[in-house]
Amino acid sequence: MRILVINGPNLNLLGRREPDVYGHASLEEVNAFIRGYFKKTEIDFFQSNHEGAILDKLHAASEVYDGIVINPGALTHYAYALHDAIKAIRPPVMEVHLSNIHARESFRTQSVVAPVARGTISGLGPYGYVLAIRALVHFAKKGN
């Protein structure tokens, strides 16, 4: 089984950006943390600050991966093109947020991605990615 983990704008700054909210681990450390939980699952990682690059990646991933985990960063709140892309591709997409977006600024409570995601996990830090991958593996085995 093959999973793609996509991180959106500013998530390359993990560990340096508001550590009280996002933790002290760098993105590389988070990715290693995630991989440590999965022996049999092939996991690729992709980060970009470019909405267009994420769209290109999602399109390309459509025939390659069995599931996708995405943390869209701030694109969550306005990037309807991401909404359309997720709706358009074949593999199920899990939406993950490191922090509890409902406990922060009001603009963060709207997700244009959530209506087309297979499921959403928020507020659990890096462990949220682990659970999202578990969900994808679970449904791949058990069916929907």
Catalytic residues, which ones? 22, 97
Q: Which two tokens stand for residue 131?
A: 């659970």
Where would I find the H helices in the chain?
19-22, 27-35, 51-61, 80-88, 127-142
- The span of 24-32, 39-47, 69-77 binding a copy of itself (CB under 8 A) equals 69-77
Among 4, 5, 83, 91, binds a copy of itself (CB under 8 A): 83
User: For a copy of itself, which residue of 6, 85, 91, 129 counts as binding (CB under 8 A)?
Assistant: 85
12 binds a copy of itself (CB under 8 A): yes
The angle that helices 127-142 and 27-35 make with each other, rounded to 10 degrees, is 40
- Three-state DSSP state, 121: strand
8-state DSSP, 41: S
- Identify which range of 11-19, 24-32, 38-46 contacts a copy of itself by CB under 8 A: 11-19
Alpha carbons 4 and 108: distance in angstroms, whole number: 24
* 19 is a site residue for a copy of itself (CB under 8 A): no
Strand partners, 42: 2
Are 58 and 91 in contact by the 8 Å Cβ rule? The answer is: no
Of 1, 25, 135, 140, which lies in the binding site for a copy of itself, with binding defined by CB under 8 A? 135
Q: How many residues bind a copy of itself (CB under 8 A)?
A: 55
Residues at the interface with a copy of itself (CB under 8 A): 8-10, 12-13, 16-18, 48-53, 55-56, 59, 73-75, 77-81, 83-85, 87-89, 100, 102-103, 107, 111-112, 114-124, 127-128, 131, 134-135, 138-139
